[in-house]
Amino acid sequence: MAKTVIIEEPGGPDAYKIVDREVGAPGPGEIRIRHHACGLNFIDVYQRTGLYPLQFPHAMGMEGAGVVEAVGEGVTHLKVGDRAAYASAPPGAYCEARVMKAAQVCPLPDAISFEEGAAMMLKGMTVVYLFHRTTPLAKGDTVLFHAAAGGVGLIACQWAKSMGIRLIGTAGSPEKCQLALDHGADACINYRDADWVAQVRDLTGGKGVDVVMDAVGKDTFEGSLDCLRPLGMMISFGNASGPVPPFNLATLGAKGSLKITRPTLFTHIAEHDTCQAMARQLFDKVASGEVKITIEQRYPLADVAEAHRALEGRKTTGQTVLIP
């Protein structure tokens, strides 16, 4: 049996329930993993509220790290006793232990702690696809990154610095702006009390940025388009403020033949080999010291509702983990 966080219908943080579930043995292509830490992500909020529909009741959580307890037939990249970490669908990571498909579970190097592994897989591999798989980026390019002091943002700030990419961040307070600067952002704008579009234009000499990376969604979408140079790329990869409303596609032409994409991590990691390669790229960055995983908040698994209130209230910085 394993304590597992579930929801029975969409709702607020109080919708979470903790139940005892039988774990069982892994079938072909599966493993059983016992978690040492579980990651907290905004996609968990989207699923809990029903923005990303699930069939209820459903276990929750997309990211975890722990030790492999059992291996099903056909699994060759993991064995019993291995340290492992993952970001993977379907949800079910908020638990003490689970059986799950093995393809997206990755061997975790000894140099990386379980907490770091649980905190970085979804966010870190998101940064991998943003900087290496979505649009060509090279030294000297300029990126606008919203929510630069969040979990993905602090990794992105360091990643950009390691590549020689100029990253202009936005954040919601002077303290959060300073945190982004401390992690490698070239500049950071407090979008709560500033005309951030004008400031981005000033910082780029009126030219605009090459790429916008925006997980905020509704509140920043229009302004983000106005920050792009002609032929620039808008990467909308989240909805923290709500989904982007419908817009006229001709707007992209009028604003300079802009490009736009709405990627998801789970498309990028759907193939086993690609997922493992992206994880190794992330592990190498962390092991080299170029990217440090900053865990600012830790909650017992039983306090998952409190953790979600902090996340939605913009009270968190860096990464947050749940401890079973």
Query: What does pLDDT average to in each consecutive run of 10 residues of the chain (324 residues)?
Result: 97 97 97 98 93 94 98 98 97 98 98 97 98 97 96 96 98 95 98 92 98 96 97 95 93 98 97 98 97 95 97 89 98
The predicted pLDDT at position 148 comes to 96
With vertex at residue 98, the alpha carbon angle to CA 94 and CA 101, rounded to the nearest 5 degrees, is 110
Give me the residues paired with residue 213 across strands: 145, 235
Tokens of 199: 């400031």
Is the bond preceding 57 in cis, omega lying within 30 degrees of 0?
yes
Residue 171 CB contacts under 8 Å (≥ 6 apart), including other chains: 147, 148, 149, 153, 177, 179, 180, 188, 189, 190, 191
Each domain of the chain, given as residue ranges in start order, spans 2-123+266-323, 135-262
* CA pair distance 68, 3, nearest whole angstrom: 17
Contact 146, 152 (CB under 8 A): no
* pTM of the predicted structure, to 2 decimals: 0.94
Q: Which value, in Å, is the radius of gyration of the alpha carbons in the chain?
A: 20
Q: How many residues does the chain have?
A: 324
CATH pick for 135-262 out of 3.30.9.10, 3.40.50.80, 3.30.1330.10, 3.40.50.720: 3.40.50.720
* CA pair distance 289, 37, nearest whole angstrom: 22
Q: Domain 2-123+266-323 belongs to what architecture? A: Alpha-Beta Complex (3.90)
